[in-house]
Amino acid sequence: MSAKMETLRSVKQDQWAQMRDEGAFDEDQYRAMAVTKCVNGKAGEYSCSNVDMMAFLSHQDMGSRTRMGNDIWGWTSATGREFAIVGQSDGTAFAEIKSDGSIVYLGRLPTQTVNSDWRDMKVIGDHVYIGAEASRHGIQVFDLKKLLSINPSSPRTFSIASDLTAFFNGVGNSHNIVANPDTNMIYAVGTGSAANCRGGLYMIDVSNPAKPVNVGCESRDGYVHDAQCVVYDGVDTAFKGHEICFNYNEDSLTIVDVTDKAKPVQLSRVGYSWSAYTHQGWLATSDMRYLLLDDELDEMDGTTPDSKTKTYIWDVKDLRAPKMTGVYSAPVTTIDHNQYVLDGLSYQSNYASGLRILDVSSVAEDPTGSKFEQVGFFDCDPFDDNTSGSVTFRGAWSVYPYFKSGYIVLNSIERGLFSLKYTGPKP
């Protein structure tokens, strides 16, 4: 773990300890809820705009003894059933999102070793790959088809000894799991010393999920916090068909060609104004020309003129020379965490202000971001509703917006799983 990450981790854990002392993670605190429409800016106790709450289920109701959540991803079965994969500090919960948006808890996979406030997962095919910031945790490989036959009246706790397709121990702890389904590659990033990769891209071929194989490491730029890896089909024709990773490396956007796993090539490494902690980002257009980046500490550290959430806009038409073209400033004060883009909308999980949905479809026309617009939100943590916002690490950890049904699943740190539906204008 890098020195910057150690400092950030300490700040977060101090805040979460205070929340715990204040009762935010107490038992029997958050009740399950059914569909609640957003009317006059409220869905029950939650502030909202153009987002309905279809259902809510707490971490306690999904089997967690720590009642604390983190990351989230989704899986769609061959027959179209949709499932949320919900990270928790003591394991991973599985829930089906039904056709009406309701949530049905099916079971959980415990942590491989000890509990960790950081757990991450991604899906390739029918398998989920789960890592954590827990010592010797490695990567759990779990066949999601096991969920298809579960009777919801008898949720199942899976065995880490007998229910895994594989356990990959080439890494100990990891911060994030990055997946490229097009190449059957998993990249563990932010790994510890056991991986011997300086926290960089640790490359795992999962063509055979039962036998993951380490095929390379890219460590020259050190610690990678998160990344998006794609088979490139963008405007820089020199790299068409190459596998390219866009890395978020604490103080830079670093672009790497990983086509040859034995000899990855760093194409560029670029910092930016107001940088505090380069956290995560996502390609924003189908031609892969524009990219959105979030910085986790700029609002807290005061590197920006104010504490409004900032989204950094990049033109990456030249992979060897990406350029920042603008910054979008949100209407509220909060820390941004993760974002994913689909059809011109950026779905952002912005801690204390919850889910924020931005129309970013204008980026090719105006890459400064001046035409970006917030078109919807759902604030999953009402504690600061009577203020202009708060710069704290509570509320929404992450969001998954890729279900064909249009349901959006959001994982709240202290509360649980929200099933949401955006009802606003589409680009």
Task: Dump pLDDT digits (tens) for 46-88.
Answer: 999 999 999 999 999 999 999 999 999 999 999 999 999 999 9
**412/414 Cα distance (integer angstroms):** 6
- How many other CB atoms are there within 10 angstroms of residue 244's CB atom? 26
Predicted pLDDT of residue 130: 99
Assign 104 a pLDDT band (cuts: 50, 70, 90).
very high
Closest CA to 350 of 320, 322, 314, 391: 391
Residues 229-256 have a mean pLDDT of 98
The beta strands (E) that lie in 98-138 are given as 103-110, 119-124, 127-132
Predicted pLDDT of residue 259: 99
CB 421 within 8 A of CB 75: no
- How many other CB atoms are there within 10 angstroms of residue 149's CB atom? 8
What are the residues facing 377 on neighbouring strands?
49, 356
Whether the predicted pLDDT of 387 surpasses 90: no
DSSP class per residue in 176-200:
EEEEETTTTEEEEES--GGG-STTS
Chain-centre distance of CA 360, in angstroms? 19
Whether the predicted pLDDT of 34 surpasses 80: yes
Closest CA to 143 of 188, 99, 203, 208: 208
Poorest-pLDDT segment among 113-117, 213-217, 304-308, 414-418: 304-308
Q: In angstroms, how far apart are the furthest CA atoms of the chain?
A: 57
Predicted pLDDT of residue 182: 99
In the sheet that holds 396-400, the strands lie side by side as 51-58, 416-422, 407-412, 396-400
The SS3 assignment for 10 reads: helix
Predicted pLDDT of residue 383: 86
Q: Which are the contacts of 149, defined by CB distance < 8 A and separation ≥ 6?
A: none
Poorest-pLDDT segment among 107-111, 211-215, 383-387: 383-387
Assign 336 a pLDDT band (cuts: 50, 70, 90).
very high
The SS3 assignment for 291 reads: strand
Element (H, E) at 142: strand 139-143
Tell me the helix, strand and coil percentages in the chain, rounded to 5: 10, 45, 50
Predicted pLDDT of residue 417: 99
Closest CA to 120 of 134, 107, 108: 134
**390/141 Cα distance (integer angstroms):** 37
Query: What does the pLDDT look like over 267-276, one tens digit per residue?
Result: 999 999 999 9
The torsion region of residue 162 among left (phi > 0), alpha (psi -120 to 50) and beta comes to alpha
Question: How big is the CA angle at 339 (ends 338 and 340), to the nearest 5 degrees?
Answer: 135
Higher per-residue pLDDT: 5 or 258: 258
CA distances, 248 to each of 43, 221, 279, 324 (Å)? 35, 10, 6, 14
Predicted pLDDT of residue 3: 86
Closest CA to 328 of 297, 360, 287, 284: 360
Residues 318-344 have a mean pLDDT of 98
- Give the strand pairing for 156-157 and 103-110: parallel
What are the residues facing 256 on neighbouring strands?
245, 266
Tokens of 103: 């949530």
Closest CA to 375 of 43, 50, 39, 38: 50
Mean pLDDT of the chain: 98
**DSSP summary character for residue 288:** S
Whether the predicted pLDDT of 18 surpasses 90: yes
Q: Kindly give the residue spans of alpha helices, DSSP state H, lying in 72-171.
A: none
